[in-house]
């Protein structure tokens, strides 16, 4: 059991409206005999907080504590049994699950350093090919992150270092991940990002993820 993000319910504030139970695609919430929201099982909660926006009383919040890890397979079976096949297909982390993309645009030439979604974000800068090579790109890499895509070989990269540096300086990023392929041309993206971090004078560590042409994470 490890520390992770999970829902917490302030029972006294819950008015029993039930909106959270339908907002949670994983079926992690239900109303009990006293018409209060309860967590069905810890392993059904993905900690993403889709239920927060619909709660009219503020009874829900995401906290970090020790708990059973989110289990997409068991969650899929739970939703399949209680809500049917179509609903189960939307369970986070399954092969047919939902998109984790939460902003637009995503191409580096088009994004604005002033876009509000970059503030305090975990940022993923991915080479174009990675999303096609890695079948689990969304749950494994994109979940919880904002996305920028670029190709160091085919794009005009003359302004890329300056633009990434500006994004870093304008926003208090929590983390920065670069995803590339094993092919030689992709390594240029890592260098661009590392140069941008240095140019911005940021203490951020560049986390590198490398995907093989077989679609599997490379060592």
> 116-211: what CATH class?
alpha beta
Per DSSP, the three-state class of 74 is: helix
Q: What is the pLDDT of residues 127-158, one digit of tens each?
A: 999 999 988 888 889 989 999 999 999 999 99
| Strand ranges for the chain from DSSP E | 2-9, 29-31, 37-39, 60-67, 122-127, 146-150, 175-181, 206-211
- The continuous run of DSSP H or E covering 169 comes out as helix 160-170
Per-residue pLDDT reduced to its tens digit, 1-20: 688 999 999 999 999 999 99
pLDDT at res. 216: 82
Segment holding 133, helix H or strand E: helix 130-133
Express each pLDDT in 83-95 by its tens digit: 998 888 778 766 5
Rounded CA-CA distance 58/62 in Å is 11
pLDDT averaged over every residue in the chain: 92
- Count other Cβ atoms within 10 Å, centred on residue 159: 12
Q: What's 118's DSSP letter?
A: G
More confident residue, 171 or 214: 171
Cβ–Cβ contacts within 10 Å for residue 138, how many?
Answer: 18
- Residue 107: pLDDT over 70: yes
Going from N- to C-terminal start, the domains of the chain cover 2-88, 116-211
Give percent above pLDDT 70 in the chain. Answer: 96
CATH top-level class for 2-88? alpha beta
Strand partners, 63: 6
């Amino acid at each position: 059991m490890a520390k992770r993000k999970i829902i917490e319910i302030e029972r006294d504030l819950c008015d029993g409206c039930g909106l959270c139970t339908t907002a949670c695609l994983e079926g992690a919430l239900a109303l009990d005999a006293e018409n209060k929201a309860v967590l069905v099982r810890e392993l059904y909660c993905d900690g993403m907080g889709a239920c927060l926006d619909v709660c009219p009383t503020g009874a829900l919040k995401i906290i970090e504590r020790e708990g059973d890890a989110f289990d997409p397979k068991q969650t899929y079976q739970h939703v399949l049994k209680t809500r049917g096949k179509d609903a189960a297909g939307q369970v986070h982390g399954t092969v047919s699950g939902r998109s984790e993309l939460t902003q637009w645009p995503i191409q580096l030439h088009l994004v604005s350093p002033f876009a509000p979604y970059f503030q305090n974000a975990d940022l993923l800068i991915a080479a174009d090919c990675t999303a096609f090579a890695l079948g689990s790109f969304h749950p494994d890499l994109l979940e919880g992150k904002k996305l920028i895509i670029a190709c160091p070989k085919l794009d005009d990269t003359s302004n890329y270092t300056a633009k990434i540096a500006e994004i870093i300086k304008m926003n208090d990023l929590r983390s920065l991940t670069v995803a590339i392929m094993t092919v030689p041309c992709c390594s240029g993206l890592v260098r661009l990002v590392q140069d941008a971090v240095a140019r911005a004078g940021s203490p951020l560590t560049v986390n590198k993820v490398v995907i093989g042409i077989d679609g599997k994470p490379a060592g």
